[in-house]
Amino acid sequence: MSVVSERLRAAAHSATLITGLAILTFWIVCALFGSAMTPFDPYADNLLSTLASPSTAHWFGTDQLGRDILSRVIMGARDILIVAPLATLLGTVLGTALGLCIGYLRGALDDVVSRVIEAIQALPLIIVALMALAAVGTSNATVVLVIGFVFTPLIARTVRAAVLIERDQDYVAAARLRGDGRLTIMFVEILPNVLPLALVEMTVRLGYAIFFVASLSFLGFGIQPPSADWGIAIAENYSLIGSYWWTVLFDAAATASLVIGVNLVTDGLKSVVDA
Amino acid sequence: MTPQPALKVEHLDVVYRVGRQERRVLSDLSFTIRRGESYGLVGESGCGKSTAAFAAIRYLARNGRVSGGRILVDGRDLMALSAAELRTLRTQSVSMVYQDPGRALNPTIRIGRQMTEVFEVAEGLKGKQAHERAAQMLARVQIPSPERVMANYPHELSGGMQQRVVIAMALSINPALLILDEPTTGLDATVEAEVLDLVSRLRGEFNNSILFISHSLPVIARMCDRVGVLYAGELVEEGPAASVFADPRHPYTVGLLRCVPSYGRRKSHGRLETIPGFLPAPGSITGRCVFVERCGNATERCRSEVPPRIELDGAREGDAGGRSTRCFYPERAPDLPHTAQAPAQALAAVAAVAAASAAPRAAQPLLRVRALSKTYQVAGKPFHAVNNMDFELWAGETLGLVGESGSGKSSLAKLLLGLSIPDPGGRVELGGETLAADTAARTAAQHKALQIVFQNPGSALNRSQTVRRLIGRSLRLVGLSGRARETRLLELAASVRLTARHLEEKPRQLSGGLKQRVGIARAFAGGPALVVCDEPTSALDVSVQSAILNLLVDLQAEQQVSYIFISHDLNVVHYLSDRIAVLYLGRLLEIGPSEAVFSGPHHPYTAALLSANPAAATHANRIRLQGELPSALNLPSGCVFQTRCPRKIGRICEDQEPALLDAGLRHAIRCHIPAAELTRAP
């Protein structure tokens, strides 16, 4: 109890964490209540004012179809904030389970799986994900699955390393000596002790996942139009960047700020957990 | 004019900043170490011993601060020194030897380079000269082949060798003050004795002043001229070591001395004394005596006033520096009420088991171990951790396992428990049933019957679970549920003296002693027939140790449980065990009733172990073992002990392994020398 409150007090004093949380909260509010916040309909064309530069009416200007960019940036938070966290969660759950199994059971299974994980890590993940999406077809659901699977080995490796330390602790021997089965030992005894690490790893991965989703969307394999997604907007407009910078800049800045926000939260959490 | 003392600490206060609060860990600490004097600081963990040592070289942790008082090294005020002067002081007049030599040496640099660096920095020597000096220095700490050791990396040396290297480095600068912080705590008994011998001898040679920090009273008593007893950051008693230990004048010192199982004390002699209560949090006690809550002599005055430092005139002839205590009633200290009042019936039960142990019997043993071996493969070579072990254990009996690290004590325990798989051919029988090699293949009844109390309570308890859950999970074995389980849980907790409040706490909120109680409750949840205790008190302070040993004795008397008690502390083993087995390099060298093993005839190795005990009578002319412990990768031919045996008789020891020969009264010794001859001292 006192430990938790001490940690919370430490968290309240961490400037990194506070800044990160502020940025993240802002985008989450946009994702949840975006439709009520936008000054214009983000999907409505207005062919009379295409590619208008930022003005008092359109703070961030308009795009090729005359859509208000501010409204689209606000709405653009929604899909990525659904897809990226879900993908990360999937990867964390699968990765933690896999890491627990290979780390506790060891033996041939661990040897084989660990080599496979190393092999996967040697590949450029974005190419793996592109090929997988090309094969199964792209939708928000398939993007979640593919990124989740791609992240699984990475998280499994981290969790495995922690499990290797835990399995040599005497409390595991004590559990074996009262006849607990392997599953009980893995999921009841060891899991709670590696969970904090898995959660920190999850927030690290969340930053990468956002970047990953944005990249896939940019390449046309991620979130699909008509979503106001930032990656799509950048893809549609990057050829115009020389003359109409506002069509790309604000979406790029939004993506960057979200990644930075998540990373700040990660760093803050780490320092609070380690303290 | 008298020379300046090597170290003079005056009214020192040290605080640590934790979060936003400052906690005072040392208050009003004053002591003086004169030239050539050896001064011991003794106390339990958390008393501030190490903080005092670090303060003396101005090397406190980042959050620590000297908030008052002065430290004078060689007459110079430490706090007034500039960074450069401080560096000069540390390279020229003060050195420190830490507890863990493995961590004091850089693992990636050869010993030779680490040694020569000292001479390069301190004396500006170069190349060959520095190398020669380093080799000389290593020879002076009795390292047999300095050149070979200098080519080694730290991990290639044993713990005792590493500590010698560290001591050599510390003495290289011929410091005016040498600080030894628990220098032998992690070492085996025979190695500890050697290192202590070395320190005494070098002291005669170099005439340094020594600040010796230890939790071990016998070690301090042996090594120091004067001693200061620290409790909760205060020096509660100070004086010449001999008179403080013979006639303590502070209740804490009295309690501490009573806690240690003295040489030759047995459980049949009654319970051990304890110090009730807990060490208060640093800085939490103001306006009264720091020891008041745990003191049997405390009065109203102790609760409302801080006792001043009182000079005592009981100092003996030739003692300089006087004696002092921080107690209002120093004359009452020897009459501190005793804490140990053994129930007569428990004593009777203990005595009955002890008597039965000495007599031959026909009944089936509880545990029978036959041809048990464990061979690991290390880099393709066989490593014999446990080598063809045979022994029995009867119900209600305690078998003490004694041996130095690497002797196979813990490996044997793991084999019995089924945590590691023995070589084919070995057999463990419990209550007449042959146990499966792997614990997973054993039945629930067998799991209940055979349990363990681990050495390190921190690792033994799952840190994510509450005490209730930790004990409760083991109660599932018994098949209880609902109300019955809750009742049994409370019973168990009460039997190890845990209160209901503790049940909702997690291990990190408990002290070491309380954690160990949880571990014991867990082992006893299923009503075991045999509990393996693997060094259960080695991580604990003496006052906590005595409480845990009392608890084990009580539980044994109540439940007729058998123990296999592993420990490196011979006095503790002797106190608790009915029979003792001595292990060396995975071989059983001697086994028999405790009295017989202690009084002899001894195996030559047992004799050396016994005489290494600083509290033992035979310590004065102790038997020194030559050479290093051989590796189990490369076992000596014939008798495993022949390479170091002081009583080796010749070729037969190298060619033939002796059998375990009967020395009478179920006492067996593995030696070519007949038992009758072993009785006579060499």
Shortest alpha-carbon distance between residue A235 and chain B (Å): 48
Contact A14, A268 (CB under 8 A): yes
pLDDT, one tens digit per residue, over A177-224 is: 988 999 999 999 999 999 988 988 999 999 999 999 999 999 999 888
CA atoms within 13 A on the CB side of B18: 10
Q: Do B460 and A3 touch (CB under 8 A)?
A: no
In which element (H, E) is residue A229 found?
none
B123-132, B445-454, B571-580, B617-626: least confident range: B617-626
Count CB neighbours of B556 within 10 A. Answer: 23
Shortest alpha-carbon distance between residue B449 and chain A (Å): 10
Fold of B346-584: Rossmann fold (3.40.50)
Closest chain B residue to A2, measured at CA: B509
Domain that holds residue A22: 2-274
Closest chain B residue to A174, measured at CA: B460
Where do the structural domains in chain B lie, given as residue ranges?
Answer: 247-341, 346-584, 587-679
Closest chain B residue to A182, measured at CA: B440
DSSP output for B145-199: -HHHHHTS-GGGS-HHHHHHHHHHHHHHT--SEEEEESTTTTS-HHHHHHHHHHH
The set of residues, in sequence order, having a beta carbon less than 8 Å from that of B588 and lying 6+ positions away, is: B389, B390, B391, B581, B582, B660, B670
CA atoms within 13 A on the CB side of B398: 31
Is a pLDDT exceeding 80 seen at residue B41?
Answer: yes
- Considering only residues B357 and B669, tell me which one the structure prediction assigns the higher pLDDT: B669
Q: What is the ipTM of this complex?
A: 0.81
Is a pLDDT exceeding 80 seen at residue B340?
Answer: no
Stretch A91-118: mean pLDDT: 94
pLDDT, one tens digit per residue, over B99-119 is: 888 888 898 999 999 999 888
pLDDT, one tens digit per residue, over B375-414 is: 988 878 888 889 899 999 999 899 999 988 778 888 999 9
| Confidence band for B617, pLDDT divided at 50, 70 and 90 | low
Closest chain A residue to B507, measured at CA: A171
Is a pLDDT exceeding 60 seen at residue B75?
Answer: yes
| Confidence band for B318, pLDDT divided at 50, 70 and 90 | very low
For helices B111-123 and B159-172, angle between their N-to-C axes, nearest 10 degrees: 10
Count of pairs with CB atoms under 8 A, one residue in A, one in B: 57
Count CB neighbours of B345 within 10 A. Answer: 10
What pLDDT is recorded for position B657?
86
- Beta strands at B310-312 and B234-240: parallel, antiparallel or unpaired: unpaired
pLDDT, one tens digit per residue, over B142-197 is: 787 888 889 989 888 878 888 889 988 988 888 888 999 888 877 777 788 888 88
What pLDDT is recorded for position B347?
57
Q: What is the pTM of this model?
A: 0.84
Contact B601, B675 (CB under 8 A): yes
What pLDDT is recorded for position B515?
92
What pLDDT is recorded for position B608?
87
Q: What gap in Å lies between CA B95 and CA B447, rounded to an integer?
A: 52
Task: Find residue B41's DSSP bridge partners.
Answer: B213, B228
Provide, as residue numbers in chain B, all residues whose Cβ is less than 8 Å from the Cβ of A176: 419, 439-440
Which tokens in the block code for residue B260? 């240690």
Phi first, then psi: give them for residue B266, nearest 5 degrees. -125, 160
- Considering only residues B277 and B560, tell me which one the structure prediction assigns the higher pLDDT: B560
Phi first, then psi: give them for residue B273, nearest 5 degrees. -75, 150
Provide, as residue numbers in chain B, all residues whose Cβ is less than 8 Å from the Cβ of A174: 452, 454, 460, 474, 519, 522
State the average pLDDT for chain B: 85
Q: Do A193 and B462 touch (CB under 8 A)?
A: yes
Q: Percentage of residues in chain B with pLDDT exceeding 90?
A: 25
- Which candidate, B386, B394, B400, B372, places its Cα nearest to that of B566? B400
Stretch A215-238: mean pLDDT: 89
Of A9, A171, A178, the CB nearest to B459: A171
What pLDDT is recorded for position B349?
56
Q: Percentage of residues in chain B with pLDDT exceeding 70?
A: 94
Is a pLDDT exceeding 90 seen at residue A88?
Answer: yes
What pLDDT is recorded for position A1?
43
Q: Does residue B69 sit in helix, strand or coil? A: strand
CA atoms within 13 A on the CB side of B106: 10
Is a pLDDT exceeding 90 seen at residue A26?
Answer: yes
| Confidence band for B1, pLDDT divided at 50, 70 and 90 | very low
What pLDDT is recorded for position B601?
84
Task: Find residue B40's DSSP bridge partners.
Answer: B212, B227
- Which DSSP letter does residue B149 get? H
Residue whose token pair is 């975006």: A34
CA atoms within 13 A on the CB side of A4: 2
What pLDDT is recorded for position A102?
95
DSSP output for B248-299: --SHHHHHHHHHSPPTT--GGG-PPP---S-PPPTT---SS-TTGGG-TT--
- CATH code, domain carrying A132: 1.10.3720.10
Contact B572, B537 (CB under 8 A): yes
